[in-house]
Amino acid sequence: MTKPAPRFPLPLDRVPTKGRAPEVVHPQRPLREAARSNVAAPSGVGLDSAAVRARMVQRLRAAGIDDERVLAAFDAVPRHAFVDSALVNQAYEDTSLPIGFEQTISKPSVVARMLALLADRPAASIARPLGKVLEVGTGCGYQAALLSELASSVVSIERVRPLHERARANLDALGRHRSVASIRLVFGDGLRGHPPNAPYDTIIAAAGGDDLPATWVDQLAEGGRLVAPWHDAAIGGQRLVVIDRRGGLITRRALDAVHFVPLKSGTQ
Ligand code: SAH
């Protein structure tokens, strides 16, 4: 049995509520430092994955992503290291790719758009514009790695245990190449957010439901921004929604049409 999701739209004058059951937390081992040049290119992605990745970054720039910090994050994280070896040839194309359990690693252009929206909030620091970030839907861990380039700390929740474990293995195996923010991987239902580390400066969801959980907005810090896919009945599909909490007010904007995997309740 699944629980009904919290309702959305939220009343704009909603007062945050507090205190929900904590999730089981699996703190990640400290990420190993490794020289960037030590990240090996797998066979099939070409001899020089850095060059293929640089071309992906150029395409993101050409598509209108102009935040250099976001572009640098895409340049720094090897997407091919997060996908099945049969898919490495497609790792730097602008497509979503299967990661098992009917889930997909999101399309780079959409991830870049979401990260740029989060980095653009007025209260953001220059160096770590995402501050303390909550990600709902760890999947294979690729976006968590990107977030760690832009945030001061990352909490990422996944409801499918084997994916949660694979993300940890992927992030551990990669080692990291620069000083990055800590990544805390949590196995649990992200519909509840993650109260133990709340509030968050930024929240990003990689799965979309009919409703946007009120708990996420409750866990957003003053000056914080949330970006998530949300089902817009007016267009009969998902759109990116941006929610800001500022001066005690919650504001909401619906932007681009997108297509994300479903946000589900409970764990698997
Ligand atoms: N950011 C991921 C994308 C994964 S796809 C990446 O870079 O790979 C979206 C993920 O959201 C899936 O793994 C799915 O299992 C997860 N998901 C869906 N509903 C969820 C929920 N309520 N809580 C946590 N994760 C959820």
Q: What is the pLDDT of residues 114-126, one digit of tens each?
A: 999 999 998 888 9
pLDDT at res. 123: 82
CB atoms closer than 10 angstroms to residue 97: 19
Closest protein CA for atom 17 of ligand 1: 137
Closest protein CA for atom 11 of ligand 1: 137
- Reference 196, options 15, 5, 21, 17; nearest CA is 21
What token pair was written down for 26?
């699996």
Q: Which residue has the higher pLDDT, 21 or 213?
A: 213
For residue range 242-266, list pLDDT tens digits in order: 999 999 899 999 999 999 999 999 9
pLDDT at res. 4: 45
User: Rounded mean pLDDT of the chain?
Assistant: 84
pLDDT at res. 251: 97
> Ligand 1, residues 150, 158, 192: which to mutate, most atoms within 8 A of Cβ?
158
CA-163 nearest atom, ligand 1:
13
Distance, CA 47 to ligand 1 centroid (Å)? 31
Pocket (CB within 6 angstroms of ligand 1): 99, 103-106, 136-137, 139-140, 142-143, 157-160, 163, 189-191, 206-207, 261, 263-265
- The pTM for the full model equals 0.85
Predicted confidence (pLDDT) at residue 194 exceeds the cutoff of 90: yes
> Ligand 1, residues 95, 263, 265, 268: which to mutate, most atoms within 8 A of Cβ?
263
Predicted confidence (pLDDT) at residue 40 exceeds the cutoff of 70: no
Q: Mean pLDDT check: name the lowest of 45-49, 136-140, 263-267.
A: 45-49
Question: Hey, which residues does 151 pair with through a beta bridge?
Answer: 131
pLDDT at res. 173: 86
pLDDT at res. 174: 83
